A and B are shown apart, each in its own frame.
Chain A
Amino acid sequence: MTGPLSVAVSPAFWVAVVAYCVASVLLLVVLAGKGNVRPIAVTFVVIAMIAHGSDIGWRGVQGVHPAGSVREALGFLAFIITGGYVLASTRYRLTLGGVVVMPVSLVLLLLARLTPAGKSEDLSVLGRIHISLATLGVGIFALASALSAIYLVEDRALRRKKFDTAAFKDRGAPLESLDRLAHRLVWVGFPIFTVALVLGAIWTARLGEDLGRIEYLLAVVTWFVFATLLVARQIYGWRGRRAAKLTLEGFAAALAVLVIYLVRRIVG
């Protein structure tokens, strides 16, 4: 079940890197008021997504599973984030989100491809399912967090009457829609993340690793934060700013898990 630990990067990877860079800059230009640049920026976002997907496909042909390791999963996570962003952009104007999402996806992709491969990982079926589900869950949480971040920026502009700011002038998605969409994403991501967490615990136990390690504890914290969010939302009607902040906090914990995992694998 084990594939090659590391293969050379594909040409599509470099296309994706360039497209992510250009898209990030152009989205900033759009946000600065040059609305006529928007179609070009969107084109580069789509190019980045296609090239990124092609890179994952190319690696798959070389026998590298997209969730075969935490390092690979980062690249896959970035692809889910970009894909989700493109999907959401078909319905809402999310320039502000793109300004955050594009650089984040770029950094994740670079981490996935250019960091040292580190030691070999157990690629059992259980491990792969755990990594796949965890990546998907965190990817969905990442999208919910991006929407929550946009919510907070737009809410702040509106509340503080900053009518001259880019956040107000860009006429992005309405607050109610951002809040609703983020909530739905958390609803979808939570059960996936829950299963990933349980499988991860079993996998870790089988590997004989200590379940008290910081990344495992942080994963549990992530789960608790999102569980609290869903319960508070359902029972106490939490929404808006409070829900957005909690979503970001939950995602920060999930991101910390990933970073610690990655560092540990690299350092060994």
Chain B
Amino acid sequence: MSELFVVGISWRTAKVAVREKLAFREDEVADTLNALTRDLPVTEALLISTCNRVEVYGVAKPGSDAPTSVRAWLAQRKNAKLAELADALYERRGPAAIRHVFAVASSLDSLVVGEAQILGQLKDAYAFAGTAGTSGPVLSRAVERAFGVAKRVRTETTIARGAANVSSVAVELAGRVFGNLAGKSVLVVGAGKMSSLAARHLYTNGAQQIIVTNRSPEKAEALAEEIEGVAQPWADLERLLAGADVVISSTGAREPVLTRAMFKRVAKARKYRPIMIIDIAVPRDAEPQIQDIDGVYLFDIDDLDKVVASNLAERAKAAEHAGRIVEHEAGQFEHWLRTQGVVPTIRALREKFAQIADAEVGKALDQLARKELTRDQQREQLQRVVQLVVNKLLHHPTTVLRGSAKEQGELRAGVLAELFALEISDQEPEVPEAEPVDEKPPEVQA
């Protein structure tokens, strides 16, 4: 039976200094996949290389120890000593490998549980394997099923719910106030790296425009250019606040630049339309009393961290449910995989039976075409054909069964009884002789 396996390294087992040693560039993947299936006892292969994991998913040749070979091969290919990687490299075989692939796709093995990026990366890796011609029936089925499991996990659990980083939290909180960000204006106060990230995130989530203001006009211009915004003079801060819907502030000022007095005027000017302030500066840019003003929602960095922590705790809870889904789906996949071993036998059995039946029916039809028969004669002819087919089908198994030694014979008899649902009487049977197979077509008695 083909055995699925995984060999790899991830954030769980190795620091980035080790992971980067094994990382593969995109242009290396095709060659690597071809080499894996050409040089090693691996019939199918897929390679996923991200900042948090490098993993080979493969199908081992029957009787081989492919995972061990892949471990050594990976180390050699990346000019690393296998002994150094021994603790970091892990392998999963058979059912454990299936569970691992499903868990990775469902983002249960990710650094931030529930993040969506890994699924896209796995899809890309699968596409690469398809292009390289190294994904076969088992791997394809496993990976495609993994996509299905990931979808199920995201639909049936809350694992992907809630923002998991500060930029996403800004978007989530803005959603709580405004719903849709379309048409909303974002004002960036200060030119910090974090505020530019958050502003960009809001922009990609539908905000209409980004305005940047900073005490240093040059820095404002530079940041505005970087994030496709518009720079405005610092002196116009109050006017800009009156026109903005979301404010992201991260100046380096020692004293608050967004004061309660200022916001009382701003709120009145904007007729108390809601405004959300994300203050990610330390020391804080906004006076905490601002949030008492109607229509003003103020969140500082601690608030954002609190939301992240709450969401991650929620995801951790959801991960337990997701784990059960993965376990159930992996069980079903294992069952499918096991049945693949008997498929060729089933196919051969059906083909052989069909051949025998076709041959006998053909001969009988020839006979029928030559003579005119009464209805009774037709029935008799049909019975003979069926009898002949049954005899031919049973001849070989009966002969083998009779010729089997006692223990082997009992075993075979048991299998046959189970396969054909036979009810065997305990009484001493009158053993019928195996009927000789008559190769001649049945004579029609006219």
Contact = CB atoms under 8 A, between A and B. Distances in A.
Interface of A: 35-36, 154, 158-159, 161, 163-164, 168-169, 171, 173-177, 236-242
B321 to A, nearest CB: 9
18 contacts: A36-B156, A154-B176, A158-B173, A159-B291, A161-B299, A163-B307, A174-B177, A174-B178, A174-B180, A175-B176, A176-B178, A177-B179, A237-B271, A239-B271, A239-B272, A239-B295, A240-B274, A242-B294
B306 interface: yes
A238 B273 CA distance: 9
Contact of B306 (A163, A169, A176, A240): A163
Contacts of A176: 177-179, 274
Nearest to A242: B294
Contacts of A239: 271-273, 294-295
Contacts of A164: 310
A172 to B, nearest CB: 9
B305 to A, nearest CB: 10
A161 B302 CA distance: 10
A164 B162 CA distance: 12
Nearest to B178: A176
B175 interface: yes
B32 interface: no
B221 interface: no
A175 B307 contact: no
B131 to A, nearest CB: 40
B301 to A, nearest CB: 12
B327 interface: no
Q: Which of A35, A171, A174, A236 has the most CB of B within 10 A?
A: A174
Nearest to B161: A171
A175 B177 contact: yes
A35 B173 CA distance: 20
B319 to A, nearest CB: 15
Contacts of A241: 294
A36 B161 CA distance: 14
A154 B175 CA distance: 13
Contacts of A177: 179
B168 interface: no
Nearest to B174: A174
A174 B294 contact: no
A209 B121 CA distance: 78
6 nearest A-B residue pairs (beta carbon): A237-B271, A174-B179, A163-B310, A240-B295, A177-B179, A176-B178
Contacts of B180: 174
A175 B274 contact: yes
Contacts of A237: 271-273
A241 B303 CA distance: 22
A154 B274 CA distance: 14
Contacts of A174: 175-180
B50 interface: no
B158 interface: yes
Contacts of B272: 237-240, 242
Nearest to A179: B274
Interface string B161-191: 1000000000001011111100000000000
Contact of B297 (A158, A171, A173): A158
Nearest to A172: B176
Contacts of A173: 179
Contacts of B295: 239-240
A169 B318 CA distance: 14
Contacts of B178: 174-176
Nearest to A160: B291
B247 to A, nearest CB: 16
A158 B273 CA distance: 16
B263 to A, nearest CB: 14
Nearest to A236: B271
A159 B289 CA distance: 11
Contacts of B179: 173-174, 176-177
Nearest to B184: A176
Contact of A35 (B158, B175, B294, B303): B158
A242 B307 CA distance: 27
A82 B299 CA distance: 36
A239 B177 CA distance: 13
A175 B177 CA distance: 5
B303 A161 contact: yes
Contacts of A159: 291, 297
B171 to A, nearest CB: 13
Given A168-B176, A174-B180, 6 more contacts: A154-B176, A158-B176, A174-B178, A175-B177, A176-B274, A177-B179
